[in-house]
């Protein structure tokens, strides 16, 4: 048990806070790591220890930490109009301008924008609109939503039901009845010996089609997926995967929601993951890098056919009865607008393409480490798979907690990474430089060496 000093920040936290995605009993014994400040791609805890944040917080601190420019925008907007809502036809200038900007940079033609405060809420809204759309066109039975095993779309009730994360369903009575989950497209772990990426992708698309047919095409309304799976471990889609999956969705008239909460705004080396993988979604959710994590904001873009159905249905019932108190908050939208201006000024997409290629090259060298079975990435996302026996693709027994051991050693090296099972996902702030990638690699080398030594000893 870790000693926690009375009246310390850690003790006060233990006495007052419940932390998401945390072992609550263990937290009562060990307390939190209190982050005190940040600058660039680094954060410092309350003892003054520096950490290189290779996870950008939760994939979201795209411009790093301590942006005076965004702070000033928030301050100025708070003084002018610190809050107003969008209900009953009320609007504000930053909200209008941000909606216009998002539609202008959308990867495919979109019609309208709905604002929320989080990616979870954006995806929840998209799921509701699948049901609303099919009710409007006279097919109310098309209510089933298909997600993917290990996909993640948020913690609200519908969004987590669409997510394929059993640990997040356990004891909550979830998923809800109309949700299904198709195959986890993790080529390295799931392919058969001799099966190419293209053959694996065909098998994934065939499984989706078989599920739709078995459920009944007249009952399946929507499919939600991330271009690159984030909380699944930074999983890069196998070659031809999206081409084949989208063909199945079109065949059975299933609305496609592209969850760009992690991939949007440059993470994959294009403004959108949908551009990187040639996706043609009906709705696009975005958040996180939309405001560089400096304000809680998300957006859902819908195409013409979805909005036309929204018009028809709201006309029938007299009102579009959906919304959030802080949707289109003028401070959040003003900060998001300024964030998008910064991306333009810094030539963010070319920067990610250049530094991302370098990061893939540098991290790719870890394939030679005895602990590492696979390294795959795109842009500034990389996933590293730790294996007990890389030659036979034999994973560690989960009881050995290889990922937790790696996380412990990373913290000792001043490195914050994202361990997902026995996989390490990297998503550093988009402003990272080649020199900082080299520093990340030095800290990672020490982390993997120490992890390998402990796993062999035990």
Residue 434 lies in a domain: yes
Residue 309 lies in a domain: yes
Instruction: Give the range among 30-34, 199-203, 215-219, 288-292 with minimum mean pLDDT.
Output: 30-34
**What is the crossing angle of helices 348-364 and 434-457, to 10°?**
30
* Same-domain check for residues 77 and 181: yes
Residue 423 contacts residue 234 (beta carbons within 8 Å): yes
List the domain range (segments joined by +) for residue 272: 70-345
User: CA-CA distance, 330 to 92, in Å (whole number)?
Assistant: 7
* Same-domain check for residues 153 and 263: yes
> Which of 312, 345, 378 is the last residue before a domain boundary?
345
| Mean pLDDT for the stretch of residues 305-311 | 97
Sheet holding 418-420, edge to edge: 372-378, 381-386, 423-426, 418-420
- Domain harbouring 260, CATH code: 3.40.640.10
* Same-domain check for residues 183 and 280: yes
User: CA-CA distance, 252 to 59, in Å (whole number)?
Assistant: 33
* Same-domain check for residues 194 and 341: yes
In total, how many domains does the chain have?
Answer: 2
Residue 286 contacts residue 108 (beta carbons within 8 Å): no
User: CA-CA distance, 175 to 198, in Å (whole number)?
Assistant: 31
Q: What is the DSSP letter of 295?
A: S
Residue 11 lies in a domain: no
Residue 144 lies in a domain: yes
> Which of 345, 364, 395 is the last residue before a domain boundary?
345
What pTM was estimated for this model as a whole?
0.96
Average pLDDT of every residue of the chain: 96
pLDDT digits (tens, 9 = 90+) for 230-263: 999 999 999 999 999 999 999 999 999 999 999 9
User: CA-CA distance, 250 to 281, in Å (whole number)?
Assistant: 10
> Which of 306, 323, 345 is the last residue before a domain boundary?
345
- Domain harbouring 364, CATH code: 3.90.1150.10
Confidence of residue 7 (pLDDT cuts 50, 70, 90): confident
């Amino acid at each position: 048990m870790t000693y926690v000093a009375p009246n310390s920040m850690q003790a006060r936290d233990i006495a007052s806070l419940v932390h998401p995605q945390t072992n609550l009993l263990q937290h009562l014994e060990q307390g939190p790591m209190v982050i005190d400040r940040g600058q660039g791609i680094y954060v410092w805890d309350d003892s003054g220890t520096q950490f290189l944040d290779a996870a950008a917080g939760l994939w979201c601190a795209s411009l790093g930490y301590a942006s005076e420019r965004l702070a000033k925008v928030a301050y100025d907007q708070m003084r002018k109009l610190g809050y107003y809502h969008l209900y009953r036809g009320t609007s504000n200038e930053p909200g209008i301008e941000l909606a216009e900007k998002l539609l202008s940079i959308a990867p495919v033609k979109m019609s309208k924008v709905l604002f929320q405060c989080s990616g979870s809420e954006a995806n929840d809204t998209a799921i509701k609109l699948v049901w609303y759309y099919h009710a409007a066109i006279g097919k109310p039975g098309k209510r089933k939503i298909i997600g993917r095993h290990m996909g993640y779309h948020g913690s609200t009730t519908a969004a987590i039901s669409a997510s394929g994360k059993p640990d997040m369903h356990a004891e909550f009575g979830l998923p809800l009845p109309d949700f299904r989950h198709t195959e986890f497209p993790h080529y390295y772990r799931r392919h058969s010996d001799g099966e190419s990426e293209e053959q694996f992708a065909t098998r994934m698309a065939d499984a989706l089609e078989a599920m739709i047919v078995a459920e009944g095409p007249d009952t399946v309304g929507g499919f939600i997926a991330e271009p690159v799976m984030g909380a699944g471990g930074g999983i890069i889609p196998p070659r031809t995967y999206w081409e084949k999956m989208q063909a199945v969705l079109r065949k059975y008239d299933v609305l496609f929601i592209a969850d760009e909460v992690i991939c949007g705004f440059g993470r994959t080396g294009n403004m959108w993951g949908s551009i990187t993988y040639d996706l043609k979604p009906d709705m696009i959710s975005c958040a996180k890098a939309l405001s560089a994590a400096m304000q809680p904001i998300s957006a859902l873009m819908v195409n013409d056919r979805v909005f036309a159905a929204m018009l028809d249905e709201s006309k029938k019932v007299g009102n579009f009865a959906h919304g959030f108190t802080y949707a289109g908050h003028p401070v959040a939208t003003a900060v998001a607008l300024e964030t998008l201006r910064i991306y333009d000024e810094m030539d963010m997409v070319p920067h990610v393409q250049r530094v991302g290629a370098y990061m893939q090259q540098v991290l790719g060298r870890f394939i030679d480490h005895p602990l590492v079975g696979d390294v795959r990435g795109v842009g500034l996302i990389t996933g590293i798979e730790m294996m007990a026996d890389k030659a036979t693709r034999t994973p560690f027994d989960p009881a050995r907690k290889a990922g937790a051991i790696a996380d412990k050693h990373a913290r000792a090296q001043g490195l914050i990474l994202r361990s997902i099972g026995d996989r390490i996902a990297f998503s550093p702030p988009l402003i990272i430089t080649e020199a900082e990638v080299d520093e990340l690699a030095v800290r990672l080398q020490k982390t993997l060496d120490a992890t390998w030594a402990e796993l062999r000893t035990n």
